[in-house]
Amino acid sequence: MTTAAVNCNQIAKRYGDKYALEELSISIPENKIVGILGPNGSGKSTLFRMITGLVKPDSGEIEVLGKTPGWKTNRDIAYLPDRARWYPNQTVADAFQWAEQLLPGFDMDNAKDLANFMEMDLDLRANGMSRGQEARLMLILCMARNVPLVILDEPFSGIDVISRERIIEGMIDYLSDRDQTILISTHEIYEVEGMFDYAIFLNQGKAILSEDVEELRAQYGSMHDIFRQFYGLQKGGF
Ligand SMILES: Nc1ncnc2c1ncn2[C@@H]1O[C@H](COP(=O)(O)OP(=O)(O)OP(=O)(O)O)[C@@H](O)[C@H]1O
């Protein structure tokens, strides 16, 4: 039987009179790479913030790794928020040392391997980093951690298309023998969908599909095709 990493039962979260999440009931299976997909404003980041305990549901129940989210569960979660900032004068190597001291489960050897395939120079200073290099650093800090749940909120934005393809290939390889649940939200669905074992499609705060990718492919075609069918995807993105 598959165990759930995250269970949401009839979750609602409202800002003013607008629902960010509404009647959300999903069960995210353990040890899978899961695409959390949907157009702008569909509730992806709100769901991630709720999983990390930063946002509380107005109603409904959420369980993460078998517990109510909060500081206790956060030791077991590596979270890459969509609007991260880095400190200006530190090098990549400094950032790794900082992470080794402060981030539970951070593994220096993993970080160095990841830096290698992402072509990150360890002497590069944060204030000299391009947006794409900063995105790589944040991704490495998150993925290098041996924790059961990793949340990557738009990890590839700012990374150019050629590097992105290489990074995604490297990630598939790196993640293939790790027992972790990885949640990834992305708008680069066409390039990334080969990574996913499971996908959840959100629309206006509700889950419209939540299924193994193989099942979804058999029923609807690619994840990109699902976007076309369910959200009226225009050519070139959404
Ligand atoms: N702190 C907040 N205050 C007010 N409204 C919010 C807040 N956070 C989220 N919302 C609203 O909740 C809805 C869901 O937002 P959320 O950021 O979760 O969407 P998203 O799917 O991550 O979007 P994107 O793809 O653009 O990152 C949006 O309508 C957004 O405006």
Name the pTM for this structure: 0.93
CB 170 less than 6 A from any atom of ligand 1: no
Give the side-chain half-sphere CA count within 13 A for 118: 32
Q: How far apart are the C-alpha atoms of 202 and 227, rounded to whole Å?
A: 11
Average pLDDT, the chain: 90
Q: How far apart are the C-alpha atoms of 4 and 14, rounded to whole Å?
A: 25
Which atom of ligand 1 is nearest the CA belonging to 38?
21
The secondary structure of 211-228 as a DSSP string is EEHHHHHHHH-SHHHHHH
Three-class SS of residue 70?
coil
pLDDT band of 238, cuts 50, 70, 90: very low
Distance 104 CA to ligand 1 centre (A): 28
CB 44 less than 6 A from any atom of ligand 1: yes
The two tokens of residue 63 are 């369980």
Distance 218 CA to ligand 1 centre (A): 31
CA distances from 221 to 137, 198, 229 (A): 34, 14, 10
pLDDT band of 38, cuts 50, 70, 90: very high
Which residue has the CA at smallest separation from atom 18 of ligand 1?
A: 43
Distance 2 CA to ligand 1 centre (A): 30
